[in-house]
Amino acid sequence: MRTPDEPTGQRTESLILEAARQVFLDKGLEGARMQEIADRAGINKALLHYYFRNKEKLFEHVFESVIASFIPQVLHLMGSDEPIPDKIRQFVSIYLDVIYENPFIPRFILHEMNRDPEHLTAMMERIAGKDIRKQLKKLDEDLAEASRRGQIKPVRAVHLLVNMLSLCIFPVVAKPVIAGILFHNNEKEYKQFLITRKEIVSDFIINGLKC
């Protein structure tokens, strides 16, 4: 089969990835169908399989593209010289925005942790494992310095990171229950709830670090 020329190939792949992201957003990995993704991308199923052999490989590409879209912001933030409270507020805001727009990401992570944790670990390591560890070391140094100055309690960067991730992820993973019971599936109210949580989560963590 002839390889598509680069510009056309890139455009087609971009169309496929965005179409797949929307289908995975609507249906999840299990409910998504390759034919629906092809239809939404405006291509035939054979061409879709030319680019991606199966649904699982396509999902991995979508997952990696979403992660790669915000990891640079997070890494820059972790390694910056901004005050610790500002780092926390910006991280929480960025992460909540990403997982609200892509709720299949945390669900996929939880699913893969049970199904194939080694594969998930290898994928995350490939995307940014080395860079994350490097910036966590810098964040550890910043936290230690702030603690020496009496600005915050002693805390390791890994604990701070896990606290932020946990408090952000649960309301998105549990959206069917939270939105259904608390907001009668009103999307506008649920989105406002997440916007409000940016400040609540940030304040909760920052206040917990105060001496």
CATH code of residue 180: 1.10.357.10
Measured torsion, CA atoms of residues 32, 68, 109, 168, in degrees rounded to the nearest 10: -110
Residues 65 and 130 in one domain: yes
For residue range 63-96, what is the model confidence (pLDDT) as tens digits?
A: 888 888 888 898 889 889 999 999 999 999 999 9
Residues 47 and 70 in one domain: no
Phi-psi region at 184: left, alpha or beta (left = phi > 0; alpha = psi -120 to 50): left
Q: What is the CATH number of the domain that holds 28?
A: 1.10.10.60
In whole angstroms, what is the distance from residue 138 CA to residue 142 CA? Answer: 6
Domain count, the chain: 2
8 Å CB contact between 109 and 118: no
In whole angstroms, what is the distance from residue 132 CA to residue 176 CA? Answer: 31
pLDDT tier, 5 (very low <50, low <70, confident <90, very high otherwise): very low
Is the pTM of the predicted complex or chain greater than 0.85?
no
Backbone angles phi, psi at 202, to 5 degrees: -60, -50
Phi-psi region at 150: left, alpha or beta (left = phi > 0; alpha = psi -120 to 50): left
Q: What domain range includes position 98? A: 60-209
